[in-house]
Amino acid sequence: MSADRENHEVADMTPTDIALLLADAADEAEIGMAPVEAVIRRGRRRRARRWAVAAATTLVLAGSTGATLAVTGLPGHSDRHAAVAAEPSTLEDRHVDIPQETELARGTDHGKNWRVVVSVWGAPRDASEAAVQLAAMRKYGIESAALPDHGHRHLVGMTSYYSGLYYGDNPLRTIIFGTVKRWEPLTGTSLMSGALPLDKANSGGPDRLVVGAVAITARQVKCGWKDGTGTVVEPQAVAGSPVEWFACTAPEGTAYQNAEVIQ
């Protein structure tokens, strides 16, 4: 029998066959001076035993539900996924210095484009992160009057949400700003809202823009105007927010009166 044939036969063996082969090899052990042919034969048997062990190991790994453990637990290997999960997230990943921003509405008024955005800022873990966030909020365009009176330390452990208006080339204007330790979602027909004039140059004019938040179960919100008319809108999801948001604009010549969840 050639070595190639022996190799082929060993590959076809079952675990039981392999065990019998090992037992036979032990029984046939010869004592004393061995002829050359016997030495060659035993060399072939040793190769067969090595192939048998390798085949048996493969069968065990293939049939084991712990195959992943067998690979990742070998010397020189590490659980890469566990290491990645243990790494602390960056400020950017947690949206401390770069918020999650969602465009809520856009339009044109007196030939000028406007848009409403809502940004959600992650909670800083300590005073140094809070200082970074406060600087980022100022750079983002949040007005100083809307920022915490007690400095950056007031932001530690707090999630902040901000809705603002861009109108033409004017700077970002605050509509709603808040910081919360734990942002509780609204329920039922609960609603929070704010209103302001569209054009900053007409800051004393009618409050034609309304922005607010409602429970995620709300389907429609009605904005009522002082002339008795109203506008119905559907709230939308905002990244990082447990509530949904809406925006309404009053027709020219009237202003905001109320807002309510109607469905």
97 has pLDDT over 60: yes
Residue 248: predicted pLDDT: 96
Most confidently modeled range among 1-15, 96-110, 186-200: 96-110
pLDDT digits (tens, 9 = 90+) for 1-34: 444 544 445 455 555 555 555 445 444 444 444 4
- Grade residue 186 by pLDDT with cuts at 50, 70 and 90: very high
pTM value? 0.65
pLDDT at 223 over 90: yes
**Do residues 154 and 179 touch, judged by C-beta distance below 8 A?**
yes
Mean pLDDT of 160-189: 92
Distances (CA, A) of 146 to 153, 161, 166, 183: 15, 11, 16, 18
**Domain range annotation of the chain:** 3-86, 100-261
